[in-house]
């Protein structure tokens, strides 16, 4: 009972004004929504798949030795199933801070096949951590 009373008496943070989308979204909410839509658009960018499928070969995989499409990680050079590789932008895209930056973000995101690299999950995580430190 005391915890409930303590929570009820805590001062509340001031609410961020909802000035966008007929008063239903905050500025940050709109930026997040736009970034999400832009990321979905880039998922089907053809040069990305050209780079992913370049040099792929069929290798036996699993207990039954069934052949599956494989490709190498460009960092550690180990072969993985193509579906287990992640396509990474060589140049960091960064986030989207305000709507005015959406055009520049999209230009950086829609690069040709030489702007991507195939990375396994662990190499991709290492690269992301290094970029976030900077």
Number of domains in the chain: 1
* Structural domain boundaries, residue 112: 45-134
Q: Does 29 map to a domain?
A: no
User: What tokens were used for 110?
Assistant: 């829609």
Using CB atoms within 10 A of its CB, is residue 70 exposed (0-12), middle (13-18) or buried (19+)? buried
Q: Does 16 map to a domain?
A: no
Instruction: Indicate the pTM of the whole model.
Output: 0.77
Q: Does 39 map to a domain?
A: no
Q: What is the pLDDT of residues 77-90, one digit of tens each?
A: 999 999 999 999 99
Q: What is the pLDDT of residues 13-68, one digit of tens each?
A: 768 888 888 989 999 999 999 999 999 999 999 999 999 999 899 999 888 889 99
Q: Does 75 map to a domain?
A: yes
């Amino acid at each position: 009972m005391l915890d409930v009373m303590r929570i009820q008496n805590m001062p509340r943070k001031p609410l961020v004004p909802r000035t966008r989308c007929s008063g239903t979204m905050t500025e940050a909410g709109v930026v997040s929504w736009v970034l999400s839509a832009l990321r979905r658009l880039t998922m089907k960018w053809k040069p990305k798949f050209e780079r992913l499928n370049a040099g792929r070969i069929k290798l036996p995989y699993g207990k039954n030795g069934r052949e599956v499409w494989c490709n190498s990680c460009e960092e550690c050079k180990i072969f993985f199933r193509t579906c287990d590789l992640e396509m990474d932008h060589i140049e960091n895209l960064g986030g989207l801070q305000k709507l005015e930056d959406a055009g520049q973000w999209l230009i950086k995101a829609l690069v040709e096949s030489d702007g991507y690299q195939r990375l396994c999950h662990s190499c991709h995580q290492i690269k992301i951590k290094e970029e976030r430190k900077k």
